[in-house]
Amino acid sequence: MSSVGQPKKVAIIGAGAAGMSCASTLAQHPDKFDVTLFDIATYTGGQATSIDLDSGRYGANWMNDGVQGGSGIFHHTFNFFRRYGYEPRAVQLQVAFGKGPESFFTNIFPSPLIDQFSHEIKKLGRMLSWIKRLMPVLGILPLKTTMRLFRFSRDFSNRIVLPLIALFLGTGNQTPNVPSALLERLFDDPNMKLWDYDPDALLPNQPTMYTFPNLSNFYSDWTKDLASRGVHIRLNTRVQLLKRDKYEVILRPLRTRSYSIASGDDMYSPPESFDDLVLCCPADEAKRILDEHASWRERYVLNGVSFYNDLTVTHSDASYFANNFETRFRTELCGYTSTEARKDQAAFARQQPPLSRKDGWEGFAPMYFTHSLPSAPDRIEMGFDCSHYQHQFREALGEDTPAPEPDRHVYQSIFLNDEESHLWTLDGIDENKIIARKWWHQFGHRWQHYLRVVPGMMFINGKNRTLYAGSWTMVNMHEIAVISGIAAAYRLGAEYRPFDEFAEDCFKKYLLLSHGTRYERRR
């Protein structure tokens, strides 16, 4: 335990977005905090990683393969980017759901499926209004229950509603179990919404999203800056909690075996004493670290977070991708062009091959994809055409340049929940065209998460000299991870430095919900 007048010793477990944000905020006060940041990985950034590419073949020498981008509400994330000279790039989002005229729809032009479900699309608008009015009740109900309650057809739910939520909020195959409030937020919340609900077209606009800069480079620069400001960064290290009481936290750092063998160091380090512990790791890892030291409240909240293992395959197999998704405009995919707006949409989509623009493409060039699995219609696979989505590929082409041939694109196919791997189409990808494989440990946004975990955070944050941060505390967004890390630092006594009203308001709301603490400006 620190002596009177000495900086408070803080241990942060996890060097992803939450841990780095927490360390950075504490590092503003070197006279008050002595910060040590631990992570089992060899790098910082967590899931925010980049991989190298063959620029001669793909037009760019890197791509982000975990976290790829976000919406305009990511003010804290962008603020950290700009602090180190990195700039997110705007892109007009194009999406493609389903495969074949009977199950395809997009936000770019009308489709037969949208015409088929025109009555239910209008009813969806009424359901969104009722969810908003009765938010405490309808908002927490699982989406599958609310859809049945409003007597929507199963086809409409599986083909239209579930893919929308799954793709944009990262809820994957747990989408039927997410709270209905997330659907309402997607269309109506001024801070979160992506789409302007339209009773005719459903998705009438190309929302502006932002692609991230080279995340490996950004996190590397951020790490060097933190080290220069006195943060002790211990990578390749896991920790064991030996003691936690009202006086101190004692940890034993354990270097991973690969690091110990390479460096010749002992795997075990002597125990170290800290004043406070910030767990910026997944909830199940936090539970493992606490072990028998966890209180009953901590066990109750942490046990409420469900995780699933997903596989992302980065590849250049254009044939596989085209067999599973609609990647190009086809006349039979286009629905009735009964209005001037629909005629303009169809004319825009017919520009093939699409031409590059600074913020996207002229012509149908989808970036996000889903298709339902025939044997399980409520289960999906997701995909990205990274060459269409990430800005560095377009910048290499220049404006008004046709898109490259399909086999020179970089794709990602995302297979959800390894417990259902028998449903995956993974075997269809040509092994010779695989660039990288990565497993991700993702939490599920089940309705129970918002009934048990989110409201329960304020009852465990700050207790027993322990704070929690990470996107799992609310919703799976890089921005939430960043805010949660700053909030943990604020609770320890660091200053939150406002830089715009919107960001300050988001921080204030998160702090109140997750910590039960009202925000006050500190000078």
Burial pattern 68-96, b for ≥16 Cβ within 10 A else e, equals bbbbebbbbbbebbeeeebebbebbbbbb
Model confidence over 257-314: pLDDT tens digits? 554 444 545 566 799 999 999 999 999 999 999 999 999 999 999 999 999 999 999 9
Q: What is the pLDDT of residue 257?
A: 59
Q: Does residue 2 register a pLDDT over 70? A: no
Helix, strand, coil shares of the chain as percentages rounded to 5?
Answer: 40, 20, 35
pLDDT band at 444 (very low <50, low <70, confident <90, very high): confident
Average pLDDT of the segment spanning 22-48: 97
Tens digit of each residue's pLDDT (9 = 90 or more) over 368-415: 999 888 888 888 899 999 999 999 999 999 999 999 999 999 999 999
How far is Cα 226 from Cα 206, in angstroms, rounded to an integer?
Answer: 38
pLDDT above 70 for 3: no
Evaluate if residue 57 carries a pLDDT over 70: yes
What angle, 0 to 180 degrees and rounded to 10, lies between the N-to-C axes of helices 501-515 and 478-491? 70
Rounded Cα gap, residues 64 and 86, in angstroms = 14
What's 374's DSSP letter?
T
- Mean pLDDT rounded to a whole number for the chain: 92
Mind listing the pLDDT tens digit for each residue in 458-516?
A: 999 999 999 999 999 998 899 999 999 999 999 999 999 999 999 999 999 999 999 99
Contact 46, 53 (CB under 8 A): no
- The DSSP bridge pattern shows strands 249-255 and 237-244 to be antiparallel
pLDDT for 4: 63
327-350 pLDDT tens trace? 999 999 998 888 888 899 999 999
How deeply is 452 buried, as exposed, middle or buried, from its count of CB atoms within 10 A (0-12, 13-18, 19+)? middle
Terminal Cα distance for the chain, rounded: 27
Residue 222 is predicted with a pLDDT of: 98
CA 488 to chain centroid, in Å, comes to 20
Q: What local confidence, expressed as pLDDT, does residue 522 receive?
A: 63
Q: Which pLDDT band, with edges at 50, 70 and 90, does 85 fall under?
A: very high
What are the tens digits of pLDDT across the range 177-191?
889 988 888 888 877
Edge-to-edge strand list for the sheet holding 232-234: 232-234, 33-38, 8-13, 276-279, 466-468
In this predicted structure, the answer to whether residue 193 has a pLDDT above a threshold of 80 is no
Predicted pLDDT at 261: 46
Instruction: Round to whole Å and give the CA distance between 397 and 412.
Output: 20
For 301, counting Cβ atoms within 10 Å of its Cβ (0-12 exposed, 13-18 middle, 19+ buried), the class is: buried
* Tokens 């998705």, residue located: 203
Asked if residues 102 and 360 have their Cβ atoms less than 8 Å apart, the reply is no
Tell whether the torsion through CA atoms of 462, 467, 472 and 476 is positive or negative: positive
Please state the three-class secondary structure of 283-297 as a single string. Answer: HHHHHHHHHHHCCHH
pLDDT higher than threshold 90 for residue 443:
no
β-pairing, 276-279 with 8-13? Answer: parallel
Under 8 Å between Cβ of 305 and 443: yes
Instruction: Specify the pLDDT at position 165.
Output: 83
523: confidence class by pLDDT, cuts 50, 70, 90: low
Residue whose token pair is 């999406």: 95
